[in-house]
Amino acid sequence: MRSELCDLFGIDVPIFAFTHCRDVVVEVSKAGGFGVLGAVGFTPRQLEIELQWIDERIGDRPYGVDTIIPNKYEGEGETDAAKLETALRAAVPQAHYDFSDRVLAEHGVPEFPEEEKGRELLGWTHATALPQVEIALAHEKVQLIANALGTPPPDVIQSVHACGRKVAALCGNAHHALRHKEAGVDIIIAQGHEGGGHTGEIASMVLWPEVVDAVAPTPVLAAGGVGSGRQIAAAMALGAAGTWSGTRWLTVKEAAGALAQKESYLAATSRDTVRTRSISGKPARILRNDWTEAWDRPDAPDPLPMPLQGLVSIDMMRRTMRYPDQAQAVAFNPAGQVIGMLNQVQSVRAVMSDLIDDFHEAVERLQESAAQPG
């Protein structure tokens, strides 16, 4: 299982793993794939700590960092992070905070102690993500900066290229893929509708070949619904240079997260996810629960545009992470439809080995089929 991306990054297999967990980044890269750390939830100081931790453990393997700088959001153009944050805070109607508080109270989710209360704006804007990019580039083993929800701004692409690293960007349709390519993005990540997190309208089976054809010869990573080697084989048969998966890594042994959250993931079927604007303001796929349903109630306010809705939901995310046992009915558990295939906890190494074996079995089946007369 090789592609041009193996030579580009010096990796064994073109399996890219998106995760918010540093242990998973290290284990995937050490197993021959490419781990990518999602930076959106980290302050610049926390991100520096995470990257140092990874550097110390990953040996000479490369890894990546993922940011979220959307093409469109409230307050875009404001480059002063502090001013932006003040303006955004002022723009959130009290009714939204009140509704969120009410839903959490209805479910008995404990409040944070007074001194720890707060609703920080972390990534989500050019101004707040730029320091993350600068920190990432100061770490030599970070060989890839990926961006979600838009074409990375020209200053980001230039600074990544200036130090000899590569830029990737996620997209949900061929039009956006072309925009990325024209801006100088090196690798396009085509994420289908079924994927976890922010996701568009077009399913992977249709999207992947569409994007491959639109941006050729730029390499495309297939994302959305990849949980097995068979699916990697399908992605590569459709022209992808490898795969990019997120949900697959939620149930591994090394994934951080409370037992209660892992149990929610292990119990979920492929029918238990929903695309909701109640988290960030843009459609994102998470496990359906009382929080997602509440925002569809007649008494619910309309979710706000990005990143304002994030200032509302951050309290839910922090409280449900702190009190996972009391909060699963309203917890933030992002996942794609492939979660239904993930029913046991395995180590990253075991998952990588299964993915590779399953890929080869699928390829052999196809070769046998192709060798049949007729």
Ligand X SMILES: Cc1cc2nc3c(=O)[nH]c(=O)nc-3n(C[C@H](O)[C@H](O)[C@H](O)COP(=O)(O)O)c2cc1C
Positions that interact with ligand X (CB under 6 A): 18, 38, 40, 66, 68, 148, 170, 191, 194-197, 223-226, 244-248, 250, 334-336, 338
Q: Give the amino acid at 6.
A: C
Cβ 91 to ligand X shortest distance, Å: 23
Which C-beta is closer to ligand X: that of 159 or that of 280?
Answer: 280
Which C-beta is closer to ligand X: that of 99 or that of 185?
Answer: 185
Question: Could you tell me the strand order of the sheet in which 284-287 lies?
Answer: 197-198, 284-287, 273-276
Cβ 167 to ligand X shortest distance, Å: 13
Which C-beta is closer to ligand X: that of 51 or that of 335?
Answer: 335
Q: Give the amino acid at 357.
A: D
In b/e form, how buried is each residue of 147-179, taking b as 16+ CB within 10 angstroms? bbbbbbbeebbebbeeeebbbbbbbbbbebbbb
Cα–Cα dist 324/159, whole Å = 39
Cβ 370 to ligand X shortest distance, Å: 28
Cβ 147 to ligand X shortest distance, Å: 7
For every residue of 27-38, DSSP letters joined together read: HHHHTTSEEEEE
Cα–Cα dist 371/195, whole Å = 34
CB 340: neighbour CB atoms within 10 A?
Answer: 16
Cβ 283 to ligand X shortest distance, Å: 12
Cβ 247 to ligand X shortest distance, Å: 3
For every residue of 140-200, DSSP letters joined together read: TTEEEEEEESSPPPHHHHHHHHHTT-EEEEEESSHHHHHHHHHHT-SEEEEE-TTSSEE--
Cβ 184 to ligand X shortest distance, Å: 18
| Inter-residue contact 313 to 279 (CB < 8 Å) | yes
255 by DSSP, 3-state: which? coil
Which C-beta is closer to ligand X: that of 99 or that of 261?
Answer: 261
Cα–Cα dist 185/153, whole Å = 10
Q: CB nearest ligand X: which residue? A: 246
Which C-beta is closer to ligand X: that of 32 or that of 152?
Answer: 152
Which C-beta is closer to ligand X: that of 99 or that of 189?
Answer: 189
Cβ 61 to ligand X shortest distance, Å: 20
Helix (H) or strand (E) holding 263: helix 259-267
